[in-house]
Structures are given as structure tokens and as C-alpha cells.
Structure 1
Amino acid sequence: MDHQAVNQSKFIYWASGIVSICGIVFEVLFGALGSYILGDGVKQYTLTISLFLTGMGVGASLSEKVLKRLIVAFVYIEFLVALIGGFSSFAMFGITAFSPAGSDAVFLYLITFIVGGLTGVELPILIRKANELGVSLNRSTARVLFSDYAGGLIGGLLFVFFLRPYLGMVKTAFFVGLINITVALVVLWLFRKDIKKLILHFSVGTIIVILLLAGFIFGEEMAFTFEQKLYKDPIIHLEESKYQKIILTEDEGDVRLYLDGQLQLSSIDEFRYHELLVHPTFAQAEEHKQVLILGGGDGVAAKEALKYEDVESITLVDLDPAVVQLAKQNRWLLDLNEGSLDNEKVQVVHMDAFEYLEQSEKWFDVILVDLPDPNNESLNKLYTKEFYSLVRNHTNPGGAFMVQATSPVFATDVYWTISNTIASTGVHTENFHTDVPSFGNWGFVLGSRNPIEVENLTIQVDTRYLTTKMLEGLTYFGKDEDAEIIQADGEKVEIPVNSLIDPILIQLYENAWKYY
């Protein structure tokens, strides 16, 4: 093999590794897009991985028909992967904003299959080309596959720890597309002596490079306008942290916080939510010295807890530092939380709530569980019997805890399953609900080792909404939402318990909210 052939064969192995990195990044990117826009992370990752691999299988089969001009075929496959994959996230946000419901899912699944198919064509072509250059088939196959598998690992790590946190989903797609087109152009140059119409191929590649660069520079800003269509009010802050997309909107003084598209609070009525979350819990607890807030990175629950003079320490556990940092710096959120997160009594811990309770040896008088709804597997574990057992075990014998538990109107089965799951840990429970205009009718579950007598609970601090007299009334539910025993075809059935082994709550949640 001459010197040029040696260089060409070496780059083929490098190319196989690089395009494999790009392929795995596109694969997990499509899963992340589906999880963010369509919900149910496991479902979306399962579908995208399955479709991508099926596409690869179809592509590998079709590669048998590519018998001539292998390098030109490979180059144009890379052109297509770069163009389609590069614009995938940008197009997904546009379709979600402007097209009929369901079209975004069809688009995502179709583009996943297509990019998977193109990826599946790449490796067989590279293996055959390496064989043409004088490398034995067994050796070329082994080397290309090694580069492919190693590239897959690198791609996954890059997406999780660098691309998604620092570039976001739109820029990541364009960036990876630029890598694909770069590989194609380098291959064109290395094999230029064997390729006809070289200028034409370079011209096509150059046009795609210009399109991808324009997308990388301007695409995120345009996608921002697409995303604005998904929200009622103008977006005043958009940030994609390591864990989630954080959005603030504001219109005529109504500031709303969204995490991964889910509304977390509205400034016009958050006090209805937070006062019911906090004050009945303090009324039930015998002491208030040590307080634990799980979630609540916006700092509003902490503000309500600080109204009690006997509070000595508040530990706030929130996974995402970006949310807490925003709550400490954004003037709108500071107006809501009154700077509570900078109070000397408040200690912020950035950690998964489940892991914190597993590792902590502290006991608390009051625990407030202010976590996002259980719409994916990582959140579902925070609504299981195992999690609530940990909450119970960290509650002092005279203490109490309150859990936000979604809507008993819109998600009746979900609410009562959460309530029954908490009760299954052996604690006494009481159910509350109230109208929060931005959310609708919202439910909470109070838990305590001591019996709960609502008529004896008193609100001891100043509030904007909640009074002692109304507490008992908030424990009554209408016929269409009172489901201590859920009716099924006229027969009484037991309310299930959500657990790590049997995570039934995710499906219940998806079924409940799909029409809202």
C-alpha cells in the first residue's frame, strides 16, 4: 500500500469514529427533544432509540446497493446527515409552534428514522472502501467497528456534559452538522484524484456549510421566536441549564416561571399555592426549629417559612443551581421571594431530593415537598412509597410534612394515588385543595405521625389568602373529585400505591393531562 493509500485508510478509521460521535449525539438529541416537547422521557427515548436503530438496520441493508463511487456516496450521505440533522432541532421548535397538534411527534419520529437510516449506510461503505485500499476485510471491519463503538461513548459523554449544557439543543444540532460536513469535505480532499466533478461536490458542501453556520449563529434566536408562540406572555428570560429549560414570562405584572415547559408559579396568585403548602404544616407541627424544603428553588416557600420567628434553620434542597441563581438575581423573582435565599437561616443544597434524604442524618420539624409534577421517571421516584418513607423517617415525632400533589380535578386518579402512597407509609394524612387561577384547582396532602385535627389548626402569621376559618372547608371535595375510593364501572376498587418497582403514576399522569 503506497503512502497516500495509508493516509486515506487511516482517515477512514478516524472518519468512522467521528461520524459515530455525530450519530450518537443526534440520537440522544432527538430523545431529549421528544422528552422536552412531547413529555414522558422514557417513552420518547425508547421510541427514538428504537427508530434510530431500525433506521440504521434499513440503511445497512440498502448500503448493499452502493457498489460504485463509494467515496462520493459517503460524502453525499454526510451532506444529508449534516443538513437534516443540523436543522432538526430548529425545525422541531418551528413545527411545534405553528403546526397542528401531533405533527411535531410525527416529524420527530420521521427525522429520527431518516438520520438513523443515513447513519446505517455510512459504516458499510467505509468498510468496503478500506478493503479496496488493501486492508483485509476482517481487519477493516474490526477497526471501523471499534471506531464506531468508541465514538458512540464519546458522543454520549459530549452531549451530556458539554453540548446540551453549553450550546443548547438548537446550536448543538447545527454544531454536530458542521462536524459531519467537515468530515465529508476532508474525505473529498483526500480522495480528490479519484473523484470526478470535484468542484461541483465542493460547491454543494460549501453551500451546506454556509447554511449550517447561519443556523448556528442565528438559529437559536429564531427558535426563540418560535418558542414564544408556545407561551401566553412575552418571554423575558430563557436559559437551558444542565438539567432543564428555564423560562420566565411577564405581561402586565404577571410573571410566570416555567421549567421544561411546565408552569411552576404565577406572581398574581402564587400566594394561594404557597400559603396552603406552608402554613397548615406549621400549624400541625409542634415545633418549627428545623425546616426542610425539597424543591422550591424559586425561594417563595422559604419566604413563607421565614415568617415564623422560631425557625432556626431552613435547608432547601434543589437539584438545579441555575434556578436558585435566577431566584437570587432576577428582580421579578426577588420581588416574590423577598430575598429569602440569601437569608442567613437558609442553607441551599444542590442535590437530588431522594439522594439527600438517603444520605442525611438530620431530622426536621417541618418538611415541605414542593417538587415538579411526576411527568417522567426521574420525578416519579419522588412520588413513591420509598421516597415518602424517607420523608417520614426524617420528620420529628411531633413534626409534619406537606406534599404538593397535582390537581384533584384534572388528574383525580393521580392526586388520590399520591395521597394513598403517602398514607401507605403509616402516617396520618389530611387532604387539602384550593383554586389557584393560573393552575386551576390544586391539591396537597398533609402528613404527620400525630393525628391531624383540622378544626384545631390555626394560622399564626400574616397571610394574603389563607385564614384559620377556611382551613376545614379546604378539606372537602366535590363528587367529581372526591375519590378516596375511585369508581370504576360502578364498582369500588382500591386506590393503587406508587413505588419504584411499580411506577404506575407516570401512566396515570399522562392519561390525565393529555386533554389539558
Structure 2
Amino acid sequence: MTDNNAIKSKRIYWASGIVSICGIIFEVLFGALGSYILGDGVKQYTLTISLFLTGMGIGSFLSERVMKKLIQAFIIIEFAVAFIGGFSAFLLFGVTAYLGSGSDAIFLYATILVIGTLTGLELPILIRKANEIGVQINKSTARVLFSDYAGGLIGGLLFLFLFRPQFGLVKTAFLVAIINIIVALWVLYTFRKEIAHLKAYSVMGGFILFLLIGGVMFGEEMAFSFEQKIYNDPIIYVEDTKYQHIILTKEQGDLRLYLNGQLQFSSSDEYRYHETLVHIPMSLAEPREDILVLGGGDGLALRELEKYQDTKEVTLVDLDPRMVKLAKNNPQLAQLNENSFENEKVHVVHEDAFDYMESAKGFYDVILVDLPDPNNESLNKLYTLEFYSLLRNHLAPGGMIMVQATSPVFARKVYWTIDETISGTGMYTENFHLDIPSFGNWGFVLAARKPIDISDIDINVDTKYLSTDLIPSLTKFGKDEDGTIANEDGEQVELKPNTLIRPNLIEKYERAWRNY
């Protein structure tokens, strides 16, 4: 093999590795987009991987028909990957905003299949070209596949630790597409003597590159305008963190926080939620010196806890440091939580709540579970028998646990499954629900090592909503929301605890909230 052919073969291997990096980034990007737009991360990543691999299989099959003009074919494929992949995230937000539910799923899954097919076309073409220039077929296949697989690992790590946290979903798609175009133009230059219509390919590649650079510069701003249509109120803050997509909206004084598209609170009525979450268990706990808050990175539960002078230490465990930083530094959010993170009693830990409880030492007098609903696998483990057993093991003998447990009206089976799961640890439970206008009817489960007597509840701190006289009414459930659940034949349904081995809560949650 001549020196010139050796250079070309090495560039083919490099090209295969780089496009593999781009391919895997697009694959995990589509999974992340599906999780954010459509929900249920496990489902979306499963469908993404399945569709992408199916597309690669289709592409490999179609590659049998590409036996001539291999470099031209590769360049055209890269142009297509760059154009479709680059604009994929941007257009998905547009489809979601203007065409609504259903259309976004069809668009995303079609895009995954197309990019997967194009990716499946790349490698066989590169292998044939490496063989054509004098590399033995067994060596060319092995080396190209090595470059592909190694590139896949690098791509996954780059997306996880660089692209998503630093650039967000929309800009990442454009940046990765630019890499595809640069590889195509590099290969075009390497094999320029073999290419007919070289100028046409160069102009086409340059034009697509120009569009993608424009996407990097302005695409995120335009996608932001698409996203604005999804929310009722003007967006005043948006951030993609390592763990979630944070949005703050505000309209006529109503500040709202959304995490991954799910409403967390409205400033117009959040006090109803947080007063119930905090003051009922705090009223019953004996003593109430050491408090643990799981979640609550907005600082609103901490605000209510500041009303108790006998509290000595409050530990808040929230996974995302960016959420806590926002709660501290955003003037409007800090005003709402009354700068609760400045309280010297508060100690913040940035760790997964399950991991924290596994390694926790000592006992807590009150544990407040202020976590998002169990709409994905990561959150589901925080609603399992195993997790609640950890809470029980770190609860002081006279202590209380209060768990936000979604809506007993909209997600009746979910609410009572959470209650059944907590009861499965051997703790006693009491059920509460109330109307929160921005959420609807919302439920909580109170748990303790000893029987709970609600007549002992005495709300003696300053509140806007909760009062001692109101408490008994919060424990009354209507026939369509109580724990007596029947199937279509009128037979009572036995709810089973949610466990790590048998996670039955996610499916119930998805089915319950599908129409809301």
C-alpha cells in the first residue's frame, strides 16, 4: 500500500470514529428529548435505542446497493445526518408548541429511525472504501469497527459531562451536526481527486455549515420562543442542569417553577401545600430538634420550618446544586422563600436521597419528603418499600414522616399505593388531602412508629391556610378518592407495595395522568 493510500486509510478510521461519536451523541440526545417532552425516561430511552438500532439494521441492509462512488455516498449521508440531526431538537420544540401532543412523538420517533438508518449506512461504506484502497478486508473491518465502538464510548461521555450541561439540548444538536459536516468536508478534501462535481459538493457542505452555525447562534433563542408557547405565562428563567430542565415563569405576580416540564409550585397558593407538608408533622413530633428535608430545593419548606424556635438543625438533601443556587440567588425566588437558605441551622447536602439515607447516621425527629412525583425510574426508587424502610430506620421513636403523595383524585391508585408501601414498613399512617388551585386536589401521607391521633394536632404558628380546626376535614375522602378501589366487575382491587424489584408505581402514574 502506497504512502498516499496509507494516509487515506488512516483518515477513514478517524472519520469512522468521529462519526460514531456524533451518532451516539444524537442517540442519547434523542432519549433526553423524549424524556423531557414525552415523559417516562425509561420508556423513551428504550424506544430510542430500539428505533436507532432498527434504523442501523435497515441502513446496513440498504448499503448493499452502494457499491460505487463510495466517498460521494458517504459525503451525502453525512450532509443528511448533519442537516436532519442538527435541526432535530429545534424542530421538535416547534412541533410540540404548534402541533401538540402526539405529533411530537411521531416526529421524534421518525427522526430517530432516519438518523439510525443513515448511521447504519456509514460503516459498511467506509469498510468497502478502506478495502478498495488496499487494506485487507479483515483488517479494514476490524479497524473501522474498533474506531466505531471506541467512538461510541467517547460520545456517551461527552454528552453526559460536556454537551448537555454546558450547551443544552438544542445547541448540542447543532454543534454535533457541525462536526459531521467538518468530517464530510475533510473526507471530501482527502479524496478530492476522485470526486466529480467537487465544487457542487463543497458549496452544498458550506451552505449546510452556514445554516448550522446560524442554528448555534440563534436556534436556542428561537426554540425558547417555541417553548414559551407551551407555558401559559412568560418564561423569566430557563436552565439545563446536569439533572433537570428548570423553568421559572411569572405573570401578574404569580411565580411558577417547572422541573422537566412538571409544575412544582405556584406562588399564589404554594403556602397551602407547604403548610400542610410541614406543620402537621411538626405539631406531633416529640421532640423536633433534628429535621431532615428530602428534596425541597426551592427553599419553601425551609421557610415554614423557620417558624419553630426549638429546632436545632435542618438538613436538606437535594440532588441538584443548581436548583439550590437558583433558590438562593434569584431575587424573586429568594423573596418567596424568605432567604431561608441563609438560616444558620440549615445544612445542605447535594446527593441522591436514596444514597444519603443508606449512609445516614443517627435519627431525625421529623422527615419531610418533598420530592417530585414518581414519573420515572430515578424518582420511583424514592417511593419504594426499601426507601421508606430506610426512613423508618432513621426516624426517632417519637418522630414523624410526611410524604407528598400526588393526587388521590387524578391518580387515586398511585396515592393509595404509596400509602400501602409506607404501611408495608410496619409504620402507622394517616392520610390527608386538600385543594390547591394550581394543582387540584393533593394528597399527603403521615407516618410514624406509633399510632397517630390527629386530635393531638395543634397548629400554633403563623399560617395563611392551615388551622387546628381544619385538620379533621383534611382526613375525609370522598367515595371516588378513598382507598376502596374496585375493578370493572365491582371487585375490590388489592394494591401491592411498590418495590425496587417490582416497580408498579410508574405504570399506574403514567396511566393516571395521561389525560391531564
TM-score (norm 1): 0.99
2:104 aligns with 104
Aligned partners of 2:413 and 2:22: how far apart in 1?
42
Identity among equivalent positions (%) equals: 65
Aligned partners of 2:488 and 2:430: how far apart in 1?
24
Cα distance, 1:335 vs structure 2:
1.4
Aligned partners of 2:252 and 2:479: how far apart in 1?
37
1:407 aligns with 407
Cα distance, 1:332 vs structure 2:
1.2
1:59-138 matches, within 5 Å, as 59-138=59-138
Q: Deviations over 1:456-504 (max 9, x none)?
A: 2111211110000110110001111012455552111212210000000
Aligned partners of 1:379 and 1:169: how far apart in 2?
22
Decide whether aligned partners of structure 1 residues 488 and 280 sit closer, same or farther in structure 2, where only a CA change above 3 A counts.
Answer: farther
- Check conservation: 1:484, 1:495, Cα contact below 8 A: no
2:429 aligns with 429
Aligned partners of 1:394 and 1:370: how far apart in 2?
17
1:258 aligns with 258
Aligned partners of 1:484 and 1:386: how far apart in 2?
25
Q: Secondary structure at the match of 2:498?
A: coil
Amino acid in structure 1 at the alignment position of 2:2: D
- Check conservation: 1:428, 1:451, Cα contact below 8 A: yes
Unaligned runs of 5+ in 2: none
1:23 aligns with 23
Aligned partners of 2:78 and 2:101: how far apart in 1?
32
2:357 aligns with 357
Amino acid in structure 1 at the alignment position of 2:491: E
- Check conservation: 2:29, 2:169, Cα contact below 8 A: yes
Aligned partners of 1:100 and 1:152: how far apart in 2?
33
Aligned partners of 1:68 and 1:24: how far apart in 2?
27
Decide whether aligned partners of structure 1 residues 486 and 328 sit closer, same or farther in structure 2, where only a CA change above 3 A counts.
Answer: farther
1:156 aligns with 156
Aligned partners of 1:276 and 1:418: how far apart in 2?
18
Q: Deviations over 1:257-286 (max 9, x none)?
A: 000000001100000000000011011211
2:166 aligns with 166
Aligned partners of 2:488 and 2:378: how far apart in 1?
29
- Check conservation: 1:237, 1:249, Cα contact below 8 A: yes
Decide whether aligned partners of structure 1 residues 7 and 119 sit closer, same or farther in structure 2, where only a CA change above 3 A counts.
Answer: same
- Check conservation: 2:397, 2:449, Cα contact below 8 A: yes
2:277 corresponds to 1:282: no
Of 281-290 and 479-488, deviating more is 479-488
Aligned partners of 2:293 and 2:207: how far apart in 1?
53
Amino acid in structure 2 at the alignment position of 1:433: H
Amino acid in structure 2 at the alignment position of 1:282: M
Aligned partners of 1:485 and 1:82: how far apart in 2?
52
2:46 aligns with 46
How many residue pairs get aligned? The number is 516
1:348 aligns with 348
2:504 corresponds to 1:493: no
Of 477-486 and 161-170, deviating more is 477-486
Aligned partners of 2:445 and 2:300: how far apart in 1?
19
Cα distance, 1:100 vs structure 2:
3.5
Cα distance, 1:362 vs structure 2:
2.4
Aligned partners of 2:179 and 2:407: how far apart in 1?
46
Of 133-142 and 494-503, deviating more is 494-503
1:227 aligns with 227
Q: Deviations over 1:83-137 (max 9, x none)?
A: 0000000010000000032000000000000000000000000000000110000
Q: Secondary structure at the match of 1:229?
A: helix
Amino acid in structure 1 at the alignment position of 2:459: I
- Check conservation: 1:486, 1:495, Cα contact below 8 A: no
Cα distance, 1:450 vs structure 2:
1.6
Amino acid in structure 2 at the alignment position of 1:44: Q
2:317 aligns with 317
Aligned partners of 2:218 and 2:388: how far apart in 1?
46
Aligned partners of 1:256 and 1:334: how far apart in 2?
13
Aligned partners of 2:484 and 2:317: how far apart in 1?
31
1:447 aligns with 447
Q: Secondary structure at the match of 2:56?
A: helix
Q: Secondary structure at the match of 1:481?
A: coil
Q: Secondary structure at the match of 2:470?
A: helix
1:456 aligns with 456
Q: Secondary structure at the match of 2:408?
A: coil
Cα distance, 1:455 vs structure 2:
1.5
Cα distance, 1:367 vs structure 2:
0.4
Aligned partners of 2:305 and 2:409: how far apart in 1?
28
Aligned partners of 1:247 and 1:460: how far apart in 2?
35
Cα distance, 1:207 vs structure 2:
0.4
2:244 aligns with 244
Aligned partners of 1:486 and 1:247: how far apart in 2?
39
Of 175-184 and 477-486, deviating more is 477-486
- Check conservation: 2:174, 2:215, Cα contact below 8 A: yes
1:383 aligns with 383
Aligned partners of 1:114 and 1:157: how far apart in 2?
23
1:368 aligns with 368
Aligned partners of 2:170 and 2:4: how far apart in 1?
38
- Check conservation: 2:484, 2:492, Cα contact below 8 A: no
Unaligned runs of 5+ in 1: none
Amino acid in structure 2 at the alignment position of 1:428: Y
Aligned partners of 2:51 and 2:196: how far apart in 1?
35
User: Please, what is the CA RMSD of the aligned residues?
Assistant: 0.7
Q: Structure 1 residue runs of 4+, over 3 Å off?
A: 484-488
Cα distance, 1:56 vs structure 2:
0.2
